[in-house]
Structure 1
Amino acid sequence: MVQPTDKPLIPPYLVLLFGVLAISTSAIFVKLSDAPAPIIATYRLVFSVVLTLPLLIWNRGAIQEIGRMTKKAWWLCILSGAFLASHFLLWFESLNYTSVASSTVLVTLQPLFAFIGGYFFFQERIRPLALMGGVLAIVGSFVIAWGDFQIGGMALWGDALALLGAITVTGYWLVGQFIRQYLSSFSYTLVVYSVTSLLLIGYDLALGYPLVGYSAQDWGWFFCLALFPTLLGHSLLNWVIKWLNTTTISMGILGEPIGTAILAYIILGEVVTLPQWIGGLIIIGGIFLFIRFNQPASKGVSANEQRTPATEKPE
């Protein structure tokens, strides 16, 4: 993929680092809440939309931009929202059958699918040393979870759900990589989060999960999930994906278990084990190699020549 020529106000890799740190808080807040997993996912997105809507007062152009979106852009945003909703549901559901470590390590396999998606959809090529760094970081994830990795029985079903969660979140980033070349981060995020919220509410109603009746503490954790890992995490990554591709975003997210382990030690008093230390160092080394040598070449015409703007007159 040919990167956009306009320069971001903030270095993209700095934004990626901050976004990954914010995402690292997700598992902590989920663990602190006593609400059912689908409800946690639902209000994480609903509150994100509620917190975003007032910003329309200072971003009137976003209303016009959304109104000019083509049918193709709307369908892509709906597809992105479906991928994101599926990711949350599959990941949270997998935790009912397999261990947290097993589920997390399988979800973080998303760079493998990002390599494939980037190759087929954006003709991206990864340099050998960058690819080696990607593989090294994935190995580090397995080192962290090795002692708790479950195989067999219902755990195998949970592992399959987690793997599907990795595929769906990769689809979410790939769609975002495409449409963010022509749609602003604010408009894209608002539309996709709204779609995801509606899909998750429909899922809750279909399965009979009550939407009310939770403790004040749970509502506080819902708010924290919306503010930190979503608005300061996913939303920032939606912004930076205009300059960094899906593979790079996925590689950066491999650092999430490190941040989560540190926060779990500080907030929950969980002990950081030797495999977590070793795996964390391997992940950091792998990410460094990938970022240092990740200069994918593109073939064919430029991205701007290949794509149709998302805000032309509706088809």
Structure 2
Amino acid sequence: MNKQPIFSPYLALVIATIAVSTSAIFVKLTDAPAGVIATYRLLFTVLFMLPFVLWKHAHEIKNICARDWVFSAIAGVFLALHFILWFESLNYTSVASSVVLVTLQPLFSFVGAYFFFKERVSLEGIIGCLLAVAGSVYIGWSDFRIGGTALLGDILALLGAATVTGYWLFGQSVRKRLSLMMYTFVVYTISTSVLLAYDLSLGFALYPYPGKDWLVFIGLAVFPTLLGHTVFNWAIKWLSVNTISVAILGEPIGAAILAYFILGEKITAAQLIGTAVIISGIYLFMRYNQPTAR
């Protein structure tokens, strides 16, 4: 049985959702290739974590079983694919539209959690999720109809939603046995290796980049990764992947607000209405969902 968490996992979801909302903004601030952005995001994360892993968790490596190595590796590959697809989508479509589509992961996680863990969601939970998804779609609806390159960006973002769901599903299993620091360090390291191979295979230059870009890479490591993904991975020990996925539906709200102040993207009436709908849906899911196993 898992020990009681040191603080509310639901509070952790709020903190992590705010943190990951910065990701799209950082990506928009650099012209580096998507693969390079993702590589340095995770490479800096791994470097920041390395001293703590060596100091406190190095002894755990020998206790990782073969199954957990395999699942962690698969999670790392899915995470790498997620970053490549999503970051690339931001080159073709708006922050709002990309974030909306990539956060539709509950549609994938509900199916995945059912087949992997036999987890079913209550009727109230389904209604809450669909309400939050509807709010997300409403926010980005005007952009969906632009077509052309925006449509390509939307497709890439949707594929990003599917791959990040795979990352969470495999992580939910492993995190119940491995410590947060060891699991995330292994996954981030594997993902960095995959991304580096991707960059080299396509001939992307790993340097030089202007100082602004290096600050963006570090910002991506600190905020949406260490304070975002890592906190989600802490919470997933006590909460289901469905709960994590629904919480992330709040990301478009934070991203839209940040895009307004930093990128000058307008906040529309549709975004305000969609925000209210998303918050209502997330509340309904968190308040009334009681997942059951078949």
Same fold per TM (> 0.5)?
Answer: yes
Q: Does residue 1:186 correspond to 2:181, yes or no?
A: yes
What percent of counterpart residues are identical?
57
Which protein is bigger by CA-based radius of gyration? 1
**1:213 equivalent in structure 2:** 208
Q: Match of 1:7, as an amino acid? A: Q
Aligned pairs for 1:93-132 (under 5 A) are 93-132=88-127
Q: CA deviation at 1:244?
A: 0.7
CA contact (8 A) 1:33 1:221 kept: yes
1:146 is aligned, of 135, 141, 144, to: 141
State the Cα deviation string for residues 13-63 of structure 1 (Å, max 9, x = none): 00011001000111111111232222111100000000000112541xx21
Q: CA deviation at 1:260?
A: 1.1
Instruction: Rate the CA distance shift 1:269–1:156 in 2: closer, same or farther, 3 A.
Output: closer
CA contact (8 A) 2:25 2:95 kept: no
CA contact (8 A) 2:95 2:256 kept: no
Q: Does residue 1:163 correspond to 2:129, yes or no?
A: no
Q: CA deviation at 1:5?
A: 4.2
Distance in 1 of aligned mates of 2:267 and 2:92: 24
- Name the stretch that deviates more: 189-198 or 95-104: 95-104
**1:245 equivalent in structure 2:** 240
Q: Which segments of 5 or more consecutive residues in structure 1 lack a partner in the other structure?
A: 300-315
**2:30 equivalent in structure 1:** 33
Distance in 1 of aligned mates of 2:58 and 2:157: 36
Figure out how many residues of one structure are paired with residues of the other and give that number: 294
Q: Which segments of 5 or more consecutive residues in structure 2 lack a partner in the other structure?
A: none
Q: Scaled by the length of structure 1, what TM-score is found?
A: 0.89
Distance in 1 of aligned mates of 2:256 and 2:101: 17
CA contact (8 A) 2:91 2:153 kept: yes
**1:49 equivalent in structure 2:** 46
**2:6 equivalent in structure 1:** 9
Distance in 2 of aligned mates of 1:294 and 1:80: 26
**1:302 equivalent in structure 2:** none
CA contact (8 A) 2:99 2:251 kept: no
Distance in 1 of aligned mates of 2:96 and 2:25: 14
Q: CA deviation at 1:266?
A: 3.0
Q: Match of 1:20, as an amino acid? A: T
**2:267 equivalent in structure 1:** 272
Distance in 2 of aligned mates of 1:189 and 1:5: 18
Secondary structure of 2:116's aligned partner: helix
Q: CA deviation at 1:262?
A: 1.7
Distance in 2 of aligned mates of 1:245 and 1:158: 29
1:136 is aligned, of 111, 131, 138, to: 131
Distance in 2 of aligned mates of 1:154 and 1:220: 28
State the Cα deviation string for residues 184-232 of structure 1 (Å, max 9, x = none): 1110000000001011011010001011110011101100100000001
